[in-house]
Amino acid sequence: MVFRRIIWVVLDSVGIGAMPDWRAFGDPVPGDTLGHCAALRPLKLPNLTALGLANIRPFENLEPAEHPLGSYGRAALASPGKDTTTGHWEMAGIILEKPFPTYPHGFPADFMAEFDRRIGRGTLGNRPASGTQIIEELGAEHMATGKPIVYTSADSVFQIAAHEAVIPIEAQYRLCEIARGMLRGEHEVGRVIARPFTGTPGHFTRTSNRHDYAVPPPAGMLLDRLAEAGTLVWGVGKISDIFLGRGIAKSFKTKSNADGMAKTLEAMAGLERGLIWVNLVDFDMLYGHRNDPEGYSQALEAADAWLPQLMLALGEDDLVIFTADHGCDPTSPSTDHSREYVPVLCYGKRARSGVNLGTRASLADMGATIAGNFGAAVGLGQSFLDAILDK
């Protein structure tokens, strides 16, 4: 063990520029989530830029550090996708051969008929949509009929939205479990997601009782290997949901980025050795999918302002890695994810500074690095552990 503890922070959807194959993934324009936000106005990101964020590539209104405190680079998605499951699985050493299925015209009529039969009621929607928009459009009808709202997106998801006063939360979870059991084989989507909401027509609000039901990841991925090696893994945010809790010793559910950052510090106060894997989802969920670049920029600045607290909590033998799982450019004509490179920033008191990690061929390189640190190994990815060690 080189680093006693690693804190791995996924800034969900904070991509840093289009990959060459962006057209093949349905992006209407080349995505550049961070770059386009930075171009709209100067971003106050002194801590991330001190680590080397602006050394990865040029950004408007962001000055590269003369002497970066961390190691820096970018990683490409090797898997055919641009969604949460694909990105996180690849980090854990799973590179997909084919993408999860998507449903740009909604799910097949025969599938929905069987789903309606199994849940004992009809459904509304069954089309790609923004979650907040479809709730506003169909929420009143849902409350009047008791029919849950089913929708999807450009990602491989089957989402169920229901008012908590109409369908209690546990019953909503049961609907998702039925859907997850049906969505196998050719219809094995990446995630089934419960999207509960409350309020009245015109004033609906999604609650923090969201729950993801992911596809079981293949055996032998990073979290399996760490468990076999006796390394504890604590998840913050939706990490446990993405991996169905496999290899996760403790999970912290979060309500927002701010809550996720607070729970990360709480986890650091409790776990002395092992991996703390964090997902901060607001960038994607609240701002990227809603085409809100100013909200996205403010969320970036809030995360940057939190970094000094995180750094103070780091021990002598700790390493922190900042990255993302895909892009979600809030300036794009689309509200969907974008096919982008993701940043890789590493910092630790025992780690080298100023190392340019270049362009990594896969997000799996991060998983391979973490596995190697804890005396484990995953089948895919090239570790950069030796490159960042302060020898």
Q: What is the mean pLDDT of the chain?
A: 96
Please state whether beta strands 191-198 and 157-163 pair in parallel, antiparallel, or not at all (unpaired): parallel
More confidently predicted of 391 and 332: 332
Give the SS3 label for residue 66: coil
What pLDDT does 180 receive? 97
- Tell me, rounded to whole angstroms, the distance of Cα 128 from its chain centroid: 20
Alpha-carbon separation of residue 214 from 141, 247, 282 (angstroms):
29, 15, 19
Q: pTM value?
A: 0.89
Is residue 156 within 8 A of residue 189, CB to CB? The reply is: yes
Give the SS3 label for residue 241: helix
Mean pLDDT of 207-231: 93
What pLDDT does 390 receive? 76
Domain parsing of the chain, residue ranges: 5-98+216-388, 109-214
Produce one character per residue of 358-384: b if its CB has 16 or more CB atoms within 10 Å, e if not: eebebbbbbbbbbbbbbebebebbebb
Domain 5-98+216-388 has CATH 3.40.720.10: yes
* Conformational region of residue 333, where left means phi above 0, alpha means psi within -120 to 50, and beta covers everything else: alpha
Tokens of 261: 């950052």
Nearest to 164 by CA among 129, 194, 125, 133: 194
Is residue 81 within 8 A of residue 337, CB to CB? The reply is: no
Mean pLDDT of 295-304: 98
**Structure confidence at residue 214 as a pLDDT band (50, 70, 90):** confident
pLDDT digits (tens, 9 = 90+) for 344-387: 999 999 999 999 999 999 999 999 999 999 999 998 999 999 99
Is residue 91 within 8 A of residue 360, CB to CB? The reply is: no
CA 211 – CA 121 distance, rounded (Å): 21
Residue 41 identity: R
Is residue 262 within 8 A of residue 309, CB to CB? The reply is: no
Nearest to 346 by CA among 369, 380, 364, 376: 369
Say whether pLDDT at 391 is over 70: no
Say whether pLDDT at 153 is over 90: no
Tokens of 365: 């390189």
**Structure confidence at residue 238 as a pLDDT band (50, 70, 90):** very high
CA 167 – CA 331 distance, rounded (Å): 35
**Structure confidence at residue 154 as a pLDDT band (50, 70, 90):** confident
Mean pLDDT of 295-324: 98
Number of alpha carbons in the 13 Å side-chain half-sphere of residue 375: 9
Tokens of 338: 């974008």
pLDDT digits (tens, 9 = 90+) for 30-41: 999 999 999 999
Residue 173 identity: Y
**What's the maximum distance between 2 C-alpha atoms anywhere in the chain?**
67
The contacts of residue 134 (CB under 8 Å, 6+ apart) are 125, 127, 149, 151, 161
CA dihedral (272, 323, 187, 122) positive or negative: positive
* Cβ burial, residue 288 (10 Å; 0-12/13-18/19+): buried
Please state whether beta strands 71-75 and 342-347 pair in parallel, antiparallel, or not at all (unpaired): antiparallel
**Structure confidence at residue 203 as a pLDDT band (50, 70, 90):** very high
Give the SS3 label for residue 213: strand
**Structure confidence at residue 1 as a pLDDT band (50, 70, 90):** confident
CA 284 – CA 88 distance, rounded (Å): 14
Say whether pLDDT at 250 is over 70: yes
pLDDT digits (tens, 9 = 90+) for 25-73: 999 999 999 999 999 999 999 999 999 999 999 999 999 999 999 999 9
Is residue 180 within 8 A of residue 213, CB to CB? The reply is: yes
Domain 109-214 has CATH 3.30.70.1250: yes
Give the DSSP letter of residue 288. I
Give the SS3 label for residue 357: strand
Say whether pLDDT at 177 is over 70: yes
3-state percent breakdown (helix, strand, coil) of the chain, nearest 5:
35, 20, 45
Say whether pLDDT at 239 is over 70: yes
